[in-house]
Amino acid sequence: MKKREFENNHVDIDVDKELFELEQEVMIQLDEYDVEFPGESEIMMTVDAIRPYVPVKENIWKTSYEHLSAIVKHSAYEVFHFSPIFWITNSLLLVISLIAIFSVELNPYLAMLFLAPLPTIAGLVEVLRSNNGMAELEMSLKFSWQELIISKLLVVGGFNLLINIIFTISISVLYPDIWIWKVTLYWLTPFTVISAVSLVIVSKFRQIHMVTGTLTIWVVISTLVSQTTIIEHIENLPATFYILVTAFASAFSIIKMIQIYKRGISYEFNH
Amino acid sequence: MPEDQELIKEILRGSQAAMEVLMRKYYKHIYALVYRKVGNRDTAYDLTQEIFIKMIQRIESYSSKGSFKSWLYQVAVNHCRDYWRSSEYKQTSKHAELLDTIKCEQKSVPYIFERKEMREQVKQAIHSLPDIQREAVILKYFHHMKIQEIAVVTQANVSTVKSRLKQGLGKIAASLERGEESEKKRIRK
């Protein structure tokens, strides 16, 4: 009885005198109305009856595969819808670079180091330029904005990768003495770093003039690095340094792409 | 024990284990509420099961701003109200009335008191109340809810709940008094 009084009235400010008196009259008898609870097996039957209504657990791997495959398919579509300027600029860059390497006899390692990220920087113009175009609006009925951006970035990155591989093969054919792994590390490192920077630009700054800025910064860095003393320092850096930078930049890029995909980018583009 | 919010998040991710933990945490409370409302073990068991199915089906719509307990009680109260209105209840109650009549004819009303089962008296007194009064009394005196909480669960205002409680308790007191008098008369005879 005392316990009930405490539980019900001590803390309930809405109980007035009349109600309190009524409670005193009947509360002790109310305690008599106990409950016949079901047994464990009956409770388990209820648990089993509820099971089919629990939301279905998502298969992360299956869902990720489906998303990835949609992005790759859309990238294939984007290849044919990129501005011709992008392809022309990059093709010219490839030809000029190859001519420069072989005619001016540039250090092939350093040439790769400086030229490797340029197509990605140029590609950012394409990614940022057309994000408000009608074609994208139409496509957005089928694809989310995140998928569109990631697809374009994949095309740009994939194309850059292809160019670098062509460079590497060309150099290794024309310079038989060249150390292929060194060439690969020399282009892979700036390529991954610039790709990571590009993702930050796309997700945070999203301004076309940021691309010009990045390009300028890269040209300035390249010019500075071309100084003989700095070249020596770069060439003396251990391979592990390049591997670590590449690994870090790659991991950063993957995380950033997942973030863009999950969080969406349309908001950032439009606000 | 994990917090309700954590369990709900897990359930939304498809965790059967979290569902079982959450259901077991509230099973006895909800069953007791339903049992005292309907006064029948089998019906209470079935209704409780249906309430937990509704809980899982609607768990996505639960807004984490309010207390989950209040939300669940609200689902339970509404489900019981739906049950009173259903044809299933009308059929069951007719059957129950018939059984009661047979029992009364066999044993007579005073015989129930003769057994001195206070539980039966209280049960009958509670079940003689209109549904909304019974609901308020059960939530207040068996589930130890404050009047404010009852108002939220039953979607009524505080003064209405107070009025229901007063009327309900008044009727219970009168019913129990009648029961005692009848018992005294029976002993005197």
Q: Which residue of B has its CA nearest to A12?
A: B146
Checking if the pLDDT of A131 tops 80, the result is no
pLDDT tens for B131-173 read 899 999 999 989 989 999 999 999 899 999 999 999 999 999 8
**Higher confidence at residue A149 or residue B24?**
B24
Put simply, whether A37 touches B (Cβ < 8 Å) is yes
| Residue A78 near residue A152, CB atoms below 8 Å | yes
**Higher-scoring residue by pLDDT: A254, A225:** A254
Distance (Å, whole) CA A142 – CA A145: 10
Instruction: Using alpha carbons, select from B87, B85, B86, B70 the residue that is nearest to residue B33.
Output: B70
Neighboring chain B residues of A54 at a CB cutoff of 8 Å:
11, 14-16, 19, 56
Domains of chain B: 1-107 (1.10.1740.10), 108-189 (1.10.10.10)
Cα–Cα distance for residue pair A27/A7, rounded to 1 Å: 12
Residue numbers in A near B14 (CB within 8 A)? 54-58
Question: Between chain A and chain B, how many beta carbons pairs sit less than 8 Å apart?
Answer: 110
Residue matched to tokens 């008094």: B177
Q: Kindly determine whether residue B162 and residue A12, on different chains, have CB atoms separated by under 8 Å.
A: no
Backbone CA torsion sign across A66, A70, A76, A79: negative
A62 touches chain B (CB under 8 A): no
- Alpha carbon of A107: minimum distance to chain B alpha carbons (Å): 56
Task: Please report residues of A whose CB lies closer than 8 A to that of B10.
Answer: none
pLDDT score for A50: 92
Averaged over A168-186, what is the pLDDT?
A: 80
Q: How many CB atoms lie within 10 A of CB A105?
A: 9
Residues on chain B touching A33 (C-beta within 8 angstroms): 36, 119, 122-123, 126, 142
Contacts of the segment B82-89: beta carbons below 8 A, 24+ positions apart: B83/B38, B83/B47, B84/B131
Name residue, tokens 């939220």. Answer: B152
Each residue's pLDDT tens digit, A193-244: 888 887 777 777 666 666 677 777 777 777 777 666 777 777 778 888 888 9
List CB contacts (< 8 A) between A25 and chain B.
169, 173
Rounded to an integer, the average pLDDT of B18-38 is: 92
**Domain boundaries defined on chain A:** 60-270
**Considering only residues 6 to 25 of chain A, which have any Cβ-Cβ distance to chain B shorter than 8 Å?**
7-8, 11-12, 14-16, 18-19, 22-23, 25
- The complex's ipTM works out to 0.78
